Amino acid sequence: MIPEDLTQSQFDTVYNLLSLVIASQLFTAVFLVLVLPRVLPRYRQALVIAAVVCGIAAYHYFRIFDSFKDAFVTDAVGGRGTYTQAEGASFNEGYRYVDWLLTVPLLLVELIAVLALARKVQTSLLWKLVPAATLMILLGYPGEISTSDNVRVLWGVLSTIPFIFILYVLFVELTKSLDRQPAQVRTLISRLRILLLASWLVYPIAYALPLLGISGADAWVLKQGGYSIADIAAKAVYALIIYRIARLKSYADDP
C-alpha cells in the first residue's frame, strides 16, 4: 500500500505534517508537566497520564518521521523531483500499532481519572474500558498486515466489537455517573466525547480504505494526513480539554 513514488509536493506535505505532529505532541506534554501544580492533587494523575500519552506519541512520531525520510529518496538537485522508495529502508507503519497499544488504553484511563468518581465506579469502568481497548488494537493488527481482503474484513469486524463496546460504556454507562459533576464540566465532557468519537472514527475508516479500492499515492498522502490530524485531536487537543476540566473541578472543589 506504500506508494512507489511521491511527487515533491506529496513528499513535502507528509513531511511537514509529521513534523507538525511531533511539535504538537512534544510541547503539549511539556505544557502539561509545567501546569501540573495548577490543579488540585486529586486531578494530577489524569494530567500526568495525559503528558505521558503525548510523550509516547512524540517519541513514535520522531521514529515515523525518520523512517519516512529514509524510505523516500530522490537524486534531484534541491530535492525538486520525484521521490522513490529507497533501497534497504522501509517506511514502518508498525509504529502506529505499537503506539496505539500503549496510548489508547491510557487515553481512557485519563478520562476516567479526571472525573474523580467514587473508587468503586472508577474501578468498574476501567476494568471494562482498558481490556476492551487493548483487545481492539490487538485484533486489528493481523488484519492490517494481511494482504488478503477477507482476512482484513474478518479481523476488522472482530476489532469493531470492543470498539462499539467502548463507545457504549462511554456514552451510556458513564453518563449515569455524571450527575455529581458541575454543569460546566458536564458540557466539557460532552465535547470531549464528541472529539473522541470523531477522531477515533478516523482509524477504522483508514483501515477500510484498501477494501474500498482507494489506493495510490494521493490516497496514501491523505491517509497520513488523516492520521496526523486525528492523532493531534485524539491526544493533544483531548489532553488540553482534560486540563480544562481539571482546572474547573479544582476551582469547584476549592474556590
Ligand X SMILES: CC1=C(/C=C/C(C)=C/C=C/C(C)=C/C=O)C(C)(C)CCC1
Q: Which three cell numbers stand for residue 31?
A: 505544557
Backbone φ, ψ for residue 86 (5° rounding):
-75, 160
Q: How far is the CB of 49 from its own copies (least distance, A)?
A: 8
| Residue 72 bridge partners (DSSP) | 85
For ligand X, give the closer residue by CB, 17 or 137: 137
How far apart CA 86 and CA 72 sit, in angstroms, is 5
Q: How far is the CB of 32 from its own copies (least distance, A)?
A: 9
Q: Considering CB distances under 5 to 8 angstroms, the limit depending on partner class, which of its own copies, Na ion, ligand X, none binds residue 77?
A: its own copies
* Binding flag, residue 195, its own copies (CB under 8 A): no
How far apart CA 39 and CA 101 sit, in angstroms, is 28
Q: Considering CB distances under 5 to 8 angstroms, the limit depending on partner class, which of Na ion, its own copies, ligand X, none binds residue 69?
A: Na ion
At residue 16's C-alpha, the angle toward residues 28 and 133, to 5°, is 50
Count the site residues for its own copies by CB under 8 A.
58
* Binding flag, residue 56, its own copies (CB under 8 A): yes
Q: How far is the CB of 35 from its own copies (least distance, A)?
A: 6
For its own copies, give the closer residue by CB, 55 or 170: 55
Q: How far is the CB of 97 from ligand X (least distance, A)?
A: 8
Q: Considering CB distances under 5 to 8 angstroms, the limit depending on partner class, which of Na ion, its own copies, ligand X, none binds residue 200?
A: ligand X
Backbone φ, ψ for residue 73 (5° rounding):
-135, 160
Q: Which three cell numbers stand for residue 243?
A: 486540563
How far apart CA 228 and CA 14 sit, in angstroms, is 9
SS3 216: helix
Backbone φ, ψ for residue 5 (5° rounding):
-130, 150
For Na ion, give the closer residue by CB, 14 or 116: 14
Q: Which three cell numbers stand for residue 114?
A: 479526571
For its own copies, give the closer residue by CB, 171 or 210: 210
Q: Which three cell numbers stand for residue 60?
A: 513514535
Name which position in 40, 63, 151, 160 contacts its own copies (CB under 8 A): 63
Instruction: Check if the beta carbon of residue 129 is closer than 8 Å to that of residue 210.
Output: no
Name which position in 42, 63, 69, 186 contacts Na ion (CB under 5 A): 69
Which residue type is seen at 51? A
SS3 72: strand
Binding site for its own copies (CB under 8 A): 2, 8-9, 12, 15-16, 19-20, 22-24, 26-27, 30-31, 33-38, 41, 44-45, 48-49, 51-52, 55-56, 59-60, 63, 71, 73-80, 85-92, 94-95, 97-99, 101-102, 145
